[in-house]
Amino acid sequence: MENCNLVILDFETSGLSPALGDRAIEIGAVKIRNGQVIETFQSLMDPGFKVSHFIQDYTGITNQMLAKAPPCEVVMEQFSKFISGQPLAAHKASFDSRFLDAELNRLGRAHTERFACTMLTARRVFPAAPDHKLGTLVDYLGINLSGHAHRALADAEAAGELWFRMLAEIRTTFRLQSIPFDLMQRLGRIPKNAVPAFLAEQAKQRAR
DNA sequence: TGCCAGGCCCTCTTTAGGGCCTT
């Protein structure tokens, strides 16, 4: 099964924009091989300043917890090795990609891995969902959260299960058994009304 | 006191605007 080799990650951060000085405060990720989670990564990281009450309330991550955590640079060095060479995915990938870029840039590194967005793909695979927030999709699909929502590993695991559910939906609806990473990535970028024709064509090509 | 970004997507669009999402 070439369809499930990737790392799905989630950052908790001090805010929305690394350009305004926001930093990562937690990273969680699941490594997927052959349709199964084979390894996880989770760590808090100290950004070097106190985060707002809003962020502490939103994530449950307190300044006391961050004061005991290793600095961002140490954690990101380890995480860089964890993801090395793997295709990546995240829910709202543009957000996590920006923080990944910003934190790796501080180490003089860059990530070149392909990056898929589970939110953009979910909008096309589950168009009838009430909305496409991760929490809503977790409820809509009956996914069991392993921990608290808005903690990095629990959200990464939820996004991983969402990835599996999307694969299952595509297999069932379009009889498409082989679903490579690239197809999932492309699916998030095509016009919504072109999705059925796109997947039908993919199934036809693979049946040849 | 109250707000901050950014990219995608849809449409009553394209000479634009606003909602969705992420923390």
Structural domains in chain A, sorted by start? 1-208 (3.30.420.10)
Going by DSSP bridges, is the β-strand pair A6-13/A115-117 parallel, antiparallel, or unpaired?
unpaired
Least confident segment among A36-40, A89-93, A145-149, A154-158: A145-149
* Nearest residue to B7 via alpha carbon and C1': A94
pTM: 0.92
Q: Is A135 helix (H, G, I), strand (E, B) or coil?
A: helix
State pLDDT tens for residues A139-159.
Answer: 999 998 888 889 999 999 999
Strand B proximal residues, A:125-154, Cβ < 7 Å: 131-135, 150
- CB burial of A177-199 (b: ≥16 within 10 Å; e: otherwise) equals eebebebbbebbeeeeeebeebb
Start-to-end C-alpha separation, chain A: 19
What is the spatial distance, in angstroms and rounded to an integer, between the CA atom of A31 and the C1' atom of B1? 45
Write down the pLDDT at residue A4: 67
pLDDT digits (tens, 9 = 90+) for A102-142: 999 999 988 888 999 999 999 999 999 999 999 999 999 99
